[in-house]
Structure 1
């Protein structure tokens, strides 16, 4: 039987994980405001190529920004389960590293989203927040190492 001791520092891992829930909520609210500005009704997920290409320049810009905000949110949703899972597993053996990497991940998801909607051609502003990806890979590495150490007990 394996017995795990959770250190008090694991609380910071939990705080980092909870911060990602706030970031996800922020993403959703942000998409809603861009949706309203672009006048894209529910249930449509994106403004279509045809809608954007035939709209007036200002409306096309609003639609493109909505699409960018929506894509940033979906990218967050695609990566969130892995990040939180890796954070929680990594934190068992490496609580400080997992908490710091989790905070870096959360902050840079915000930077990524803001950059994606800064109007740069093709959403290139998102590259400002790519540190989330390095934190993500590091979390996965720490999670694998943590799991391995637990399995070796």
Structure 2
């Protein structure tokens, strides 16, 4: 039987989970705020392609919306990996989580410029997410081997 002990440093992991949640919320607020600027009414998820080609504000809205959607698509896996990895590797998990957050911020800034190719600015953020998955994989391996 394995006992789980939560180290005091797990607070860093929890702090990064709060920062990550605030980041995702801020991305959503940006979408809602810019929706009004671009004139894209609810329940429409995106501006029509033809409209976006003619109106830079609608193109930027679509980019902001895509940033938020893309972030949400991987957020559950990221957050689970962060919180699980932090049990055994709290400072490493927190550091990798901050790398993920920084990558998401630069991804958002680049993509939201209206030039989707600039989203690559935040590509390094994948190191954070993959690193967290690696730590969880190591934990799973150690638990299986010790069984």
- Give the match for residue 48 of structure 2: 48
Aligned residue in 2 for 1:35: 35
Which residue does 1:104 correspond to in 2? 99
Q: Is the 8 A contact 2:63 2:114 kept in 1?
A: no
Residue pair 1:90, 1:145 contacting (<8 A) in 2 also: no
Q: What's the offset of the Cα at 1:19?
A: 1.0
TM-score, reference length from structure 2: 0.93
Partner of 1:15: 15
Q: Is the 8 A contact 1:68 1:117 kept in 2?
A: yes
CA-based RMSD of the aligned residues comes to: 1.3
Contact 1:94 1:146 in 2 (8 A): no
Contact 2:99 2:127 in 1 (8 A): no
Count of residue correspondences: 146
- Deviating beyond 2 angstroms after TM superposition, the runs of 4 or more aligned structure 1 residues are 50-53, 150-153
> In the alignment, is the contact (CA less than 8 A) between 1:92 and 1:146 conserved in 2?
no
Any stretches of 5+ residues in structure 1 without a counterpart?
none
TM-score w.r.t. the length of structure 1 is 0.89
Separation in 2 of the partners of 1:144 and 1:70?
Answer: 32
Pairing of 1:75-86 with structure 2 (within 5 A):
75-86=70-81
**Stretches of structure 2 lacking an aligned partner (at least 5 in a row):** none
